[in-house]
Structure 1
Amino acid sequence: MAENKGLVLIAEDERHIADLQRRYLSREGFGVHVEADGNEALAAARRLRPVAIVLDIALPGMDGVEICRRLREDGDWTPIVFVTARDEVTDRILGLELGADDYLTKPFSPQELVARVKSLLRRASGPRQDPVHRVGRLVLDTGRRTLRVDGRPVELTTTEFNLLAHLMHHPGQVFSRDQLLARVWGYAGYRDTRVMDVYISQLRAKLGDAGAIRTVRGVGYGMIDDAR
């Protein structure tokens, strides 16, 4: 039997989809808890403290966007993979703005879901021996997974942290959206550019004037190395 890798919470009201997700995640050594109602899913997330949450947007009782909002307001930064329908672009973008870490659009393969969950957890744990990185007024500790801006702690989602870490590790360099998607998510070429723009906007809002992420029109994004 595979080593238990922690509990994944699945919030999905379509039973056949939930059963498929449960089966594939279980094969990879994850414990799985399923809820079909949004209110119950939120309660389970708070009670069980899963290592990751697979969260359908269209849930009865309370939708996935509101669940994500409440967890992030609680200070719970458990990695969240949103599951969306093709016509839910607005909700998907809103979910990312609220702190979701990744998303899948129905229909998707269960193997891809497993790959996304494992990828998020690898990035959340991170290499423990990485040095502290300083750019201007930002201090990023990739071992402890912490960020300080002017000495104060700033909370980031898993994906926000990984995106900022990549930019800070390469100050002065400019990366295309595809390069950043490949580096941070491990995938590229299947997302619209709005997703990366959303994450850059979120980082800029959290860093304020201390984080000098610059936009190079027609190219992409980079971190100014002499930010003050």
Structure 2
Amino acid sequence: MRVLIVEDEVKITQALNFLFSKQKINVDIANDGDEGLLLAKKDIYDVIVLDIMLPGTNGIEILKTMRRAGNKTPVIMLTAKDTIDDRVFGLEQGADDYLVKPFATKELIARVKALSRRKNTEFIGEIYEFEGIKYDVKNYLLYVDNCEFKIPLKEAMLMEMFIKKPKQVFTREQIIDRIWGLESDILESNIEIYVHHLRKRLNHTGAKIETVRGVGYMLKEK
């Protein structure tokens, strides 16, 4: 799982980064709204934790910009305002959940995990299903024709990215940012190697990884 936290209080982001890492959840942090908007636009996250009051672009504007662009990533809004009107307004703009400061970190982590499961594939425990394939995201296990395959880490991360959002095109930049990190100088040819391996595994299923010429890749039905 990869989570974006947009929050200007550095002590909060440092604490959350530590706690999420203990849960083996990858975190990117933005301490102002402008940086948060740039990262959110990449559409590589499973969940975004978004403060409302931010320097630069505020959280509501970030959320509205995301939704107008078709970005459906689940968003948890953080706010110090504890009124029903504020919460309703955030939800009306496209937020999926709301948490009022101060909050219990365990509750935030639980809500992030719950939201990450709200995808357009069928979710059973830690297993996603699509067109005859099953993928266990926790144990890197791919099930094809009742056969179990444990796949390498980078290939597993790519498979997770595809199966959580089938029929969505992922650009090569998105894939690199998601799997290798924002500062990576990895070559695009590396992606093709992992895509090639996954395609071979899906040969006899109802799913395929399609190349969208000049853009990237998507998982779809054959």
Structure 1 length as normaliser, TM-score? 0.52
RMSD: 2.4
Q: 1:20 to 1:40 in 2, by over 3 A?
A: same
Q: Which residues of structure 2 form unaligned runs of 5+?
A: 131-162, 167-222
SS at match of 2:118: helix
Corresponding residue number in structure 2 for 1:32: 27
Residue 18 of structure 1 is aligned with which of 13, 28, 33? 13
Quick check: 1:45 aligned with 2:40? yes
Q: Secondary structure at the match of 2:41?
A: helix
Aligned equivalent of 1:74: 69
Q: Distance in 2 between matches of 1:145 and 1:48?
A: 11
How many correspondences in the alignment? 129
Counterpart residue identity of residue 29, structure 2: V
Rate the CA distance shift 1:27–1:91 in 2: closer, same or farther, 3 A. Answer: same
Measured against aligned partners, the alpha-carbon deviations of 1:142-187 in whole angstroms (never above 9, x if no partner) come to x9999xxxxxxxxxxxxxxxxxxxxxxxxxxxxxxxxxxxxxxxxx
Alignment correspondent of 1:115: 110
- Match of 1:65, as an amino acid? I
Q: Per residue, is there more strand in 1 or in 2?
A: 2
Give, as a single letter, the amino acid of the residue that structure 2 aligns with 1:100: A
Shift of 1:60: 0.8
Cα distance between partner residues in 2 of 1:17 and 1:9: 13
Q: Is the 1:65–1:91 contact (alpha carbons within 8 Å) kept by the matching residues of 2? A: no
After the TM superposition, which segments of 4 or more aligned residues of structure 1 sit over 6 Å from their partners? 143-146
Task: Choose which of 92, 95, 101 in structure 2 pairs with 1:97.
Answer: 92
Q: TM-score, normalised by structure 2?
A: 0.53
Partner of 2:153: none
The alpha-carbon deviation at position 30 of structure 1 amounts to 1.0
Give the superposition deviation at 1:42: 0.6
Q: Could you say what secondary structure the match of 1:41 adopts?
A: helix
Q: Is contact 1:12-1:56 (8 Å) kept?
A: yes
What is the CA deviation profile of residues 65-106 of structure 1, one whole-angstrom value per residue up to 9, with x for unaligned ones? 110000000000001010111345433221100111111111
Gaps in structure 1 of 5+ consecutive residues: 1-5, 131-142, 147-228
Specify the code of the residue in structure 2 equivalent to 1:32: V
Can you list the C-alpha shifts for 1:171-222, whole angstroms capped at 9, x where unaligned?
Answer: xxxxxxxxxxxxxxxxxxxxxxxxxxxxxxxxxxxxxxxxxxxxxxxxxxxx
Q: Secondary structure at the match of 1:100?
A: coil
AA partner of residue 9 (structure 2): E
How far residue 48 of structure 1 moved from its aligned partner, in angstroms, is 5.8
- Is the partner of 1:81 in helix, strand or coil? strand
